[in-house]
Amino acid sequence: MDTNTLRVALIGYGEVGGIFAAALAGKVATVSAYDIRPTDAMRDRARRDGVRLCASAAEAVDNSGLVISAVTASATREAAQSIADAIRRGAHVLDINSASPRVKIECGAIVDAAGGRYVESAVMTSVPPYGIAVPMLLGGTHAEPLVPTLTALGFKARVASNDIGVASAIKMCRSVMIKGMEAIVIESFLTARRYGVEREVVASLAETFPGIDWEKQGGYFWSRVVRHGKRRAEEMREAAATVREIGLDPFMASAIAQRHQWVADVAASGAFETLAEEAAWRDFADCVPR
């Protein structure tokens, strides 16, 4: 695939979509984007980065050779259908959304039935520190042929399986651990703070896990969930669905989703709006209403 003549479309122009679009602009012929809830900030960013912000998914997808789906987890299937309704035959669709294996399989069937070439992608860590070079696992029969193009564009992607669903299973199982640690630290540290025993709790954790700076890690976990709690809760509901799909009750994944959603709701009330993103975890904890 000739990147100089390649037209790329982003469905979803939030944080991740914006990062990818900015990195791709100038490397390909055109970059188009569509977001279901466009904001003035998005419009300003699109003008600055040379991205064409479209009024519909169909307008963005039309005549694009590569379509990247970067929406919220709950909108994954809907985005796949909107792409399929407008995709040109033979175009690749890179689905980077945090959805369960079953949802990815369904999306693959929708896109391929419309003549597209669906590629599952599991983004394996937070995007902002890495940008377009964030590690990705790919899946599906169309994944291997797309790797050279993605590499030329600056992506760091490797194929996990020719079967759709494997890459997402890896990500979802990892998310139970990573998002679970965030939820546990928030719940533990907030409770310890309220009882006035945080110094002893942190000291005990440092003794048991000496390789972790719990003060720093606590601040990082709080800041990430405060900023992205809603999105993380959605991802954990998909993780719960992943657990359920193999016949296991997702007790932990469901509880993790609840804690992330709780933080998101507190953040939406404005409780943390005066805090810097790099604030200490105690500052975040003290802003939580009693």
Q: Residue 146: which CATH number?
A: 3.40.50.720
Residues 186 and 74 in one domain: no
What band does 138 get if pLDDT is binned at 50, 70 and 90? very high
Q: How many CB atoms lie within 10 A of CB 109?
A: 14
What band does 224 get if pLDDT is binned at 50, 70 and 90? very high
pLDDT at position 140: 98
Q: Say what the pTM is.
A: 0.91
Residues 89 and 204 in one domain: no
The domain that contains 276 carries what CATH number? 1.10.1040.10
Q: Which of 164, 187, 214 is the endpoint of a domain?
A: 164
Q: What is the mean pLDDT of residues 88-116?
A: 97
C-alpha separations of 153 from 113, 134, 284 in Å: 27, 12, 38
Residue 63: give the domain boundaries. 7-164
CA proximity to 158, closest of 175, 127, 128, 134: 134
Residues 112 and 66 in one domain: yes
Q: What is the mean pLDDT of residues 101-123?
A: 98
Residues 84 and 144 in one domain: yes
What band does 83 get if pLDDT is binned at 50, 70 and 90? very high
Are 9 and 34 in contact by the 8 Å Cβ rule? The answer is yes
Residues 135 and 189 in one domain: no
pLDDT at position 134: 97
Residues 30 and 160 in one domain: yes
| Residue in the block written with tokens 């291997």 | 144
Are 173 and 242 in contact by the 8 Å Cβ rule? The answer is yes
Tokens of 61: 């997808």
Write the pLDDT tens digit of every residue in 6-49.
999 999 999 999 999 999 998 999 999 999 999 999 999 999 99
pLDDT at position 193: 98
Q: Which of 164, 181, 216 is the endpoint of a domain?
A: 164
pLDDT higher than 90, residue 96: yes
pLDDT higher than 90, residue 153: yes
pLDDT at position 171: 97
Residues 26 and 109 in one domain: yes
Averaged pLDDT of the chain: 97
What band does 146 get if pLDDT is binned at 50, 70 and 90? very high
Q: How many separate domains does the chain show?
A: 2
Q: Is residue 2 part of a domain?
A: no
Are 54 and 33 in contact by the 8 Å Cβ rule? The answer is yes
What band does 180 get if pLDDT is binned at 50, 70 and 90? very high
pLDDT higher than 80, residue 1: no
C-alpha separations of 74 from 12, 98, 151, 217, 233 in Å: 13, 9, 29, 29, 10
Residues 159 and 217 in one domain: no
pLDDT higher than 80, residue 213: yes
Q: What is the mean pLDDT of residues 73-100?
A: 97
pLDDT higher than 80, residue 149: yes
What band does 2 get if pLDDT is binned at 50, 70 and 90? confident
pLDDT at position 277: 86
Residues 159 and 181 in one domain: no
